[in-house]
Amino acid sequence: MVRIAIAGASGQLSKEILDGLVETDKHEIIGLVRKDPKSLPETRGVRWAQTNYKDRSQLVHLLRGVHTVLCFFISHKDAGGVDQKRLIDAAIEAGVQRYAASECGSKLESVRDAVLEYTLFHPGLFMNYLGYPRQTTKHITLFPLLFDFDGMRAIVGEQSLDAKIAYSTVEDIVGVVARAVEYEGEWPRVGGITGSQVTVAQLLELGKKIRGRPFDIEWVKEEDAQAGRARVYDTKVFGGFAQAISVPSNDTISGFENYRLPVTE
């Protein structure tokens, strides 16, 4: 049995992980949330605790006796990783032994130089996105991320045909996290969960084979991608989806600007 604290516990991925950990019936879980815990369902084995992650001494208090912290902040909403850094510092002060970091864009210096054992799960993209519009996750909202096998439409970088993408199903990610929590050896710093690895060209070919027709591709110039000029926002290629993000919020823009596809070497 391990006492686990999940930061950002009411998020979509967190809820999937929470379900997986609760299922094992082995752990005591503290779900850290910013919203009023009364708005959250009572869940066996889970104690909700409210925090805005701004008060280090409150965090230290909440994390005393915790063995493992799993952080699932959405990083573009935590500018500069400030809240996560405070959480890491509090975890160290509270004597937490293991920390799994929310990875996209966050700076991890305070973990790197510390005694705290940590990992970046690095699961690649959720494979479930490829099955859109079939809902194959319980809590995560799916959308056609770059490849829409249903409508046979894709957004592809002009120079990315040979780029490899790692995909893992959410179910497998949950399974790996549940087993990682129980793992007695030292966590690797880069987890590297990979269900499948595929090049962009292979994925396009796969779609053609399965659906019997080629993808309608929106090609993105490298310089546009680098400059953050996401012409795809205006395109009609993605129909409703493009429309939905055609006036992206500042949050969304900064998220896309900071985001890098988890391409494997």
Ligand X SMILES: NC(=O)c1ccc[n+]([C@@H]2O[C@H](COP(=O)([O-])OP(=O)(O)OC[C@H]3O[C@@H](n4cnc5c(N)ncnc54)[C@H](OP(=O)(O)O)[C@@H]3O)[C@@H](O)[C@H]2O)c1
Strands (E), the chain: 3-7, 28-33, 46-50, 68-71, 98-100, 117-119, 125-126, 147-148, 153-157, 164-168, 196-199, 216-220
Enumerate residues 83-122 that contact ligand X by CB under 6 A: 83, 102, 104
Residue 4 CB, shortest distance to ligand X, in Å, is 16
The minimum distance between CB 8 and ligand X, in angstroms, equals 3
CA 111 to CA 117: how far, in whole Å? Answer: 8
> Which of these ranges, 5-13, 56-64, 188-196, 237-245, lies near ligand X under the rule CB under 6 A?
5-13
Q: Which is nearer to ligand X, 34 or 67 (CB)?
A: 34
Residue 54 binding ligand X, by CB under 6 A: no
User: Residue 148 interacts with ligand X (CB under 6 A)?
Assistant: no
Query: Binding to ligand X by residue 194, rule CB under 6 A?
Result: no
**Residue type at 116 in one-letter notation:** L
The footprint of ligand X on residues 59-88 (CB under 6 A) is 72-75, 77-78, 83
Q: Using N-to-C axis directions, what is the helix angle for 12-24 and 170-182, rounded to 10°?
A: 50
CB of 50 to ligand X, least distance (A): 9
Residue number with the smallest Cβ distance to ligand X: 11
CA distance 224 to 155: 13
CB of 227 to ligand X, least distance (A): 22
CA-to-CA dists, residue 129 to 80, 103, 134, 143, 226, angstroms: 28, 19, 9, 6, 24
198 in contact with ligand X (CB under 6 A) = no
* Plot region of 239 (φ>0 → left; ψ -120 to 50 → alpha; else → beta): left
Binding residues vs ligand X (CB under 6 A) = 8, 10-14, 33-35, 53, 72-75, 77-78, 83, 102, 104, 123, 125-126
